[in-house]
Amino acid sequence: MLEIKDLHVSVGDKEILKGLSLTIETGKVHAIMGPNGSGKSTLSYVLSGREGYEVTSGSITYNGEDLLAMKTEERAAKGIFLAMQYPVEIPGVTTMMFLKTALNAQRRARGESELDAMAVLKLVRAKAKSLQVSEDMLKRALNVGFSGGEKKRLETLQMTLFEPKLAILDETDSGLDIDALKLVAEGVNTLRSPERSMLVITHYQRLLDYIVPDKVHVLAWGKMVAEGGKELAHELEAKGYGDLVKERA
Ligand code: ADP
Ligand code: MG
Ligand code: MG
């Protein structure tokens, strides 16, 4: 589904990713771990097509196509969904309104018919309950004044509505208490399917107790420095990143 080869990415004149390679097969859940500042969020932004990140060399192939040649909206339409470390707040736009607009934009891009307000409401309500997203949250301005847990639960709801092909979750656990973490993980786990791949980016091993990955990669200083099964996450938790992340010349 996704093949990243020798990717170099700069922001301004600073090189952040320095020859990163990664392959994700369809239906698999991969985790990327790594210390703060190693380039994890940068990778997720490059995949989603955010401006300001310049790919200086390397390639990204998504379902056989050149991902880097696609605009952000096109990537979303083709099923890439990014759940971010810091979700945006939009004063003046209710959460429900946002979900309807975003969902219909997605459907248009996929060549599907738009849903009316009632249909969206029905769909949202059906999924909101299990994620404990309340009616009150749906009526409030998007993310404004939401707690960390509320933002993440809402984002997980958004992800389940969009049914992505490649879901990228960046530090979904940051700022979550254990109950919220479990809810989010459950939401993510229900999305696991043979047709869907996921990239779970996390600084801590904790989330991976609930979303058990097929593969774990360690990113340090802009490159992958280790790869293994789910047990690698536990080893790292016990021993720390240690020698793996010593800066190379
Ligand atoms: P992580 O998510 O692993 O903590 P990031 O991808 O956020 O790492 O950041 C990697 C490095 O790139 C850090 O040194 C960070 O300061 C730098 N960086 C990220 N975004 C920018 C930016 N927009 N401008 C300048 N430096 C940036
Ligand atoms: Mg960081
Ligand atoms: Mg980050």
Cα Rg of the chain (Å, integer): 18
Nearest-CA residue for ligand 1 atom 5 is: 39
**SS3 letters across the chain:** CEEEEEEEEEECCEEEEEEEEEEECCCCEEEEECCCCCCHHHHHHHHHCCCCCEEEEEEEEECCEEHHHCCHHHHHHCCEEEECCCCCCEEEEEHHHHHHHHHHHHHHHCCCCCCCHHHHHHHHHHHHCCCCCCHHHHHCEECCCCCHHHHHHHHHHHHHHHCCCEEEEECCCCCCCHHHHHHHHHHHHHCCECCEEEEEECCCCHHHHCCCCCEEEEEECCEEEEEECHHHHHHHHHHCCHHHHCCCC
pLDDT at 241: 83
47: confidence class by pLDDT, cuts 50, 70, 90: very high
Give the nearest ligand 1 atom to 44 CA. Answer: 6
pLDDT at 42: 96
The pLDDT of 115-140, averaged and rounded, is 91
Ion ligand 3 neighbours, Cβ < 5 Å: 40-41
Q: Which residues does 249 contact at the CB level (< 8 Å), separation at least 6?
A: none
Residue 185 has pLDDT above 50, yes or no: yes
Q: Which of 42, 50, 168, 241 maximizes ligand 1 atoms within 8 Å of its Cβ, making it the mutation to test the pocket?
A: 42
The pLDDT of 1-22, averaged and rounded, is 97
82: confidence class by pLDDT, cuts 50, 70, 90: confident
Q: Are 61 and 3 in contact (CB under 8 A)?
A: yes
pLDDT in tens, 186-228: 888 999 999 999 999 987 788 899 999 999 999 999 999 999 9
The pLDDT of 78-84, averaged and rounded, is 85
pLDDT in tens, 129-149: 888 899 999 999 998 998 888
Q: Which CATH class is domain 2-245?
A: alpha beta
Give the nearest ligand 1 atom to 45 CA. Answer: 6
248: confidence class by pLDDT, cuts 50, 70, 90: low
Backbone angles phi, psi at 107, to 5 degrees: -65, -40
Cβ < 6 A, ligand 1 pocket: 11, 14, 16, 34, 36-42
Report pTM: 0.89
Q: Are 168 and 81 in contact (CB under 8 A)?
A: yes
Distance CA 36, CA 34 (A): 7
